[in-house]
Each structure stands twice: as C-alpha cells, then as structure tokens.
Amino acid sequence: MDMDTTSTGTTGLAWQRDPLPEARRATAAEIAARCRKPVFGTVMTEHIVTVDWTAEDGWHDARLRPYGPLEMDPAMVGLQYGQVVFEGFKAFRHADGAVTVFRPTDHAHRFRNSARRLALPEMPVELFLDAVRELVAADERWVPAAPGQSLYLRPVLYATTPSLALAPGDRCRFLLLAFVTETFFGADTPGVPVWITRRYTRAVAGGTGEAKCAGNYAAGMLAQQEAAEHGCSQVVWLDAVERRWVEEMGGMNLFFVYGRNESAQLITPPLSGTILPGVTRATLLELASDRGLTVAERRLSVENWRVDAEDGAMTEVFACGTAAGVTPVTRVVCDDGEWTVGEGRIGPVTAALRDALVEAQRGGGADPRGWRMPVAAAGERP
C-alpha cells in the first residue's frame, strides 16, 4: 500500500519516506517462503530507518528508506575506534492480526544509557519510538504469525565523523533495521550445554559491561569459539577479579532455580556494573513474583553451581534474553569437569516462565503494565 512521503512525528521532527521500487517489493508468497525456516539475522525486511545527528543541528533528516547499503567514510570514528552501540527487541503478531512491539520504551532507555557510556548523543525516547513505529508500520507484512517467530528490531548508533583523531565523533547516525526470526537456539529447544571460561573475561567494574556496545561482543567471539571446541553452545562469563563468580552467559542473563513447585526460589546474579541489565531479565523477575516464586539477586560461585546441581538442591538453570527467550541450560562444562543440571531437560519452573513470557509478549489478554506498543500498518496511519 502506498505511504505518505512525509509526516511529522511525535517529537515534531519531519519524516521523509523514500518509496520502495515496485520491482523490489516482495510478494506474500515470497515473504512466506523466506520466513519458513529463518536463519537468525539473515531474513531482512524491505526498509530501514536512518536519523542523523550533529553537534550543531541535533537530530535531523529522519528517513524511512528501502533496505540497502549505506555510504561510509573510511576514516569514520565508529569504524576506526568502535564508538558503536545497539539494541535488540521484538515485534509480535497476535491471534487477531494486531502487531505490537514488546517493551520498546525500556529498550530506548537502555539505548540512551549505552550511548552515554560511549560518549554518543542520547536519542530522545519519543524519537526512538517514532523510528520503531515507522519501520514496523512499513514492514508490517513481514511480522510473522507463526508460533515461535517474531520480527527482531536492531537499532544501532554510531559515530560518522571522518577523523582519525582519538576523540568522540561530533556526527552520528541512528540506524534501525529488522529481520524475521525464531528463537536464537531454535523453537522448543530441550536445553543447551555451556562452557565456563576462566581464560577470558568479559568486563570489569568501571568498564562497558552494562552497555550494549559492539566491542563487548567482538571481544567475546574467541571465548565463544572456545566453547564450541568443547561441544557447547554458549560461553559463561565469570568475574574478572577472582574468576569465580558467575555473571552472565554470552549475550544472555542467567537464572538458577532451587527447590520445586511452590517452594522454588530463583537466584540471578545482581547488576554490578559488569552485567548487561536485560529487559527480559527484568520481565522475568516481575513474572516470577506474580506467580509467588521467591526471587533473590545475589552472587553465585562456580563451586556452588556444581555442588548444588550435583546434590539436587539446584533443580534448574535457564538463560534469558531477547534473542534466546527462555532457554534451559542442561549441561555445564569447565576445565576441571562437567555436570548435569536437574534431569538434563527443561524443568517445570523454566517451562512455566517461558510460557508466561510468551503470553506477555503475544497473548491476547490484558496488558496491565503497558509493555506492548501497538503499531498500525502503513496504510492504516491516521
């Protein structure tokens, strides 16, 4: 459906919408074929959003454009010095056909916090939300209805100043793109094995551990290769000082379940400045409390993980994140042995919280906390 070429967003910033050539517009059948078994991060939609920023003019040139390459100066600060932050969250299609985005405001605030840590401009929350509405409305046809699938949204902010001087960029670009995905480990995974690395560390106090910046993930890739060499799907990070305390898993937070049924207690490492404050983590803390589960944020050592799992006190472990959803951790490997958690498959508390998260994201019921932001298709905009 044709879109208006210009409009004004909630922040008063004018939006330019560049038309998608008809020859590049995918048919419904083509979209269905590409989304049948989407490989994570590869099935991109047809549009992107860009908004520029300069120290002189602030945020300007908000544009919805066809997906495609962007020009980049070879001396760009973001490329040369890694002044790049990003986010990740999802849009869901409900049974009645409506589309909502899950907790975008919380992701907007975390995006601002990450930008502040890397000396990038903090994007206004409403402008962030306008960008989300623009892209999801334009590519509403790509939001899948299949269970277990969603539209993953990836905002990026990077310095575009063409300078090799070691200083923050005074020009930046916000970019928003989207792709169709299932969960990171595939739908209904029975559990994943994880590798505890003592060779590498992710973050230290005062560093960038609580920011979602590109360098954190690049620095983790070698440890992820190490995990794969030991037959594991993900790496578990320990604290950088004692190499003893569990912090997080790859790009995901961790929860440990003690006990069973109504007496179960959840433990998750506290936010100490070295752990990313996951929005899914925060969601599960609330959902667990709603269900009467006892929740504690406290440190847990590798030794406790092993002993408590082996004697049965620890009954379940799961990872959580936007990409992973709720994923059971069933086997742990480290340099001095390995052990199984619970019965080596998804446990009842993990399963119940996974179902609760899915219901919160795409259920047809009430949304008392206002976590879902509705988005109308492009042709339905007022």
Confidence at residue 8, expressed as pLDDT on a 0 to 100 scale? 76
pLDDT average, residue stretch 233-246: 96
Residue 356 covered by a domain: no
**Structural domain total, the chain:** 2
- Domain match, 340 and 376 both: no
Q: Within this chain, do residues 202 and 176 fall inside the same structural domain, yes or no?
A: no
Give residue 239's domain range: 192-346
Share of the chain above pLDDT 90, in %: 87
Is the same domain home to 20 and 166? yes
User: Are residues 163 and 234 both part of a single domain?
Assistant: no
Q: How confident is the model at residue 1 (pLDDT cuts 50, 70, 90)?
A: very low
Q: Do both 63 and 155 map to the same domain?
A: yes
**pLDDT digits 0-9 by tens, 69-106:** 999 999 999 999 999 999 999 999 999 999 999 999 99
- 250 forms beta bridges with none
The mean pLDDT value for 189-211 works out to 93
Q: What are the pLDDT digits (tens) for 2-38?
A: 556 777 777 789 999 999 999 999 999 999 999 998 9
Range 242-250 average pLDDT: 95
CA distance 224 to 325: 19
Q: What is the pLDDT of residue 185?
A: 72
Classified as helix, coil or strand, 36 is coil
Residue 353 lies in a domain: no
248 and 293 belong to one structural domain: yes
120 and 49 in one domain? Answer: yes
What's the CATH number where 177 sits? 3.30.470.10
130, 181, 213, 356, 376 from 105: Cα distances, Å = 11, 21, 19, 20, 17
Q: Report pLDDT for 3.
A: 56
Clarify whether residues 17 and 104 are in a common domain. yes
Q: Do residues 19 and 162 share a domain? A: yes
Based on the fold, state whether residues 218 and 158 are members of the same structural domain: no
Residue 360 lies in a domain: no
Share of the chain above pLDDT 70, in %: 97
Task: Flag whether 111 is in a domain.
Answer: yes
Secondary structure (3-state) at 378: helix
In a shared domain, residues 174 and 207: no
79: helix, strand or coil: helix
Q: Strands, E, within the chain: which ranges?
A: 6-8, 14-17, 43-44, 47-54, 58-66, 84-86, 89-93, 99-102, 150-159, 171-181, 192-196, 234-238, 246-249, 253-258, 265-268, 294-297, 314-321, 325-334, 337-340, 372-375
Q: What is the pLDDT of residues 110-141, one digit of tens each?
A: 999 999 999 999 999 999 999 999 999 999 99
**Does pLDDT of 379 surpass 70?**
no
Give the mean pLDDT of 345-351.
93
Across residues 169-196, what is the average pLDDT?
A: 89
Q: Does residue 48 lie within any of the structural domains?
A: yes
Answer yes or no: is 278 within a domain.
Answer: yes
Mean pLDDT estimate for the chain: 94
Is the residue at 201 inside a domain?
yes
Q: What is the mean pLDDT of residues 181-189?
A: 74
Is there a single domain that holds both residue 159 and residue 85?
A: yes
Q: What is the pLDDT of residue 188?
A: 63
pLDDT for position 10 = 74
User: Could you tell me if residue 351 is inside a domain?
Assistant: no
Q: Which CATH number is 210's domain given?
A: 3.20.10.10
Least confident span in 2-16, 33-47, 135-149, 196-210: 2-16
Collapsing DSSP to helix, strand or coil, 271 comes out as coil
